């Protein structure tokens, strides 16, 4: 599933189309156009525009268009970005390994023939104009220890649920959250405000380390815990049977021995 790490790969790939001018827009799937946007409106907004910048905030990829509204691209659980026939991520965890053009939900063609495509089997992503970036919290790649404490480690909600709340910190998905909490030795179901300063600093350190490792290794599915996130497995750190439960509405794997 695309999390902040995957969208950062997409952003770097989208740098290829910065400075290029859009000559055609393909928006065949009305479901994929959000906030009441129509195919005619997105064609009118983007066609003939030059891409001034490609930016990311959390799981949102933004294409700034010179003199036009920005394009917000979301990828849901199974969306991949393809530019010039090349995908930044070859496959996504929990998605199909097929590469079917029938799943192309949105596309841009540039004046030199380069194409940008969102290929999304489950249609859980979407496209919008001028996305509300201020509804998102600090970005996961830049959040500071003090921001983490102030935004995330508050209230009686489970710490994992807070980490997954994009309004508090943008870019963390299920795999990043489980890996970070597992490495930090923190029970995902603990009330967010129960973490003391030492645990808060440890959580921030491991979050940064997880992002660095995932970027280097090619995606959020590459964690040390990932191969063991299935029924009947044991913690790769201490051999304790892993606990599988729902935390914050998401399937969660954790070690009841060292995550406290």
- Model-level pTM? 0.95
Tens of pLDDT, residue by residue over 133-160, are 999 999 999 999 999 999 999 999 999 9
Q: What is the CATH number of the domain that holds 86?
A: 3.20.190.10
Indicate whether 187 and 110 sit together in one domain: no
Q: How many domains does the chain have?
A: 2
pLDDT digits (tens, 9 = 90+) for 18-50: 999 999 999 999 999 999 999 999 999 999 999
> Token pair of 254, please?
């954790």
CA–CA dist 244, 226 (Å, integer): 13
* Mean pLDDT for all residues in the chain: 96
173 within some domain: yes
Mean pLDDT of 208-226: 96
Domain presence at residue 147: yes
* Residues spanned by the domain of 94: 4-134
Task: Please indicate, yes or no, if residue 200 is contained in any of the structural domains.
Answer: yes
Q: CA-CA distance, 124 to 25, in Å (whole number)?
A: 20
Looking at residue 98, what is its pLDDT? 82
- 10 shares its domain with 129: yes
So what's the pLDDT on residue 90?
A: 82
CATH number for position 196: 1.10.8.50
* Same-domain check for residues 141 and 224: yes
Assigned domain for 260 exists: no
Domain assignment present for residue 259? The answer is no
By annotation, the residues acting in catalysis are: 2-3, 59, 250
- pLDDT, one tens digit per residue, over 85-94 is 999 888 788 7
Q: Does residue 214 form part of some domain? A: yes
217 in a structural domain = yes
Q: Are residues 28 and 150 in the same domain?
A: no
> Within this chain, do residues 25 and 71 fall inside the same structural domain, yes or no?
yes
């Amino acid at each position: 599933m695309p999390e902040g790490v995957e969208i950062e790969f997409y952003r770097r790939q989208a740098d290829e189309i910065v400075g290029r001018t859009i000559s055609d827009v393909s928006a065949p799937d009305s479901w994929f156009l959000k906030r009441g946007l129509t195919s005619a409106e997105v064609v009118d907004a983007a066609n003939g525009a030059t891409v001034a910048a490609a930016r990311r905030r959390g799981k949102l990829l933004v294409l700034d268009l010179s003199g036009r509204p920005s394009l917000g691209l979301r990828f849901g659980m199974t969306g991949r970005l393809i530019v010039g026939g090349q995908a930044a991520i070859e496959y996504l965890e929990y998605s199909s390994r097929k590469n079917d053009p029938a799943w192309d939900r949105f596309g841009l063609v540039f004046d030199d023939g380069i194409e940008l495509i969102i290929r999304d089997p489950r249609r859980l992503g979407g496209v919008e104009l001028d996305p509300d970036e201020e509804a998102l919290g600090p970005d996961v790649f830049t959040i500071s220890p003090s921001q983490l404490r102030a935004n995330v480690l508050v209230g009686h909600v489970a710490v994992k649920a807070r980490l997954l709340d994009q309004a508090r910190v943008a870019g963390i998905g299920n795999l990043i959250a489980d890996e970070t909490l597992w490495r930090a030795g923190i029970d995902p179901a603990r009330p967010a405000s129960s973490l003391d300063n030492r645990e808060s600093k440890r959580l921030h350190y491991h979050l940064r380390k997880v992002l660095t490792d995932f970027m280097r290794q090619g995606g959020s599915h590459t964690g040390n815990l990932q191969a063991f996130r299935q029924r009947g497995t044991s913690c790769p750190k201490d051999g304790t049977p892993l606990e599988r439960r729902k935390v914050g509405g998401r399937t969660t794997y954790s070690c009841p021995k060292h995550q406290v």
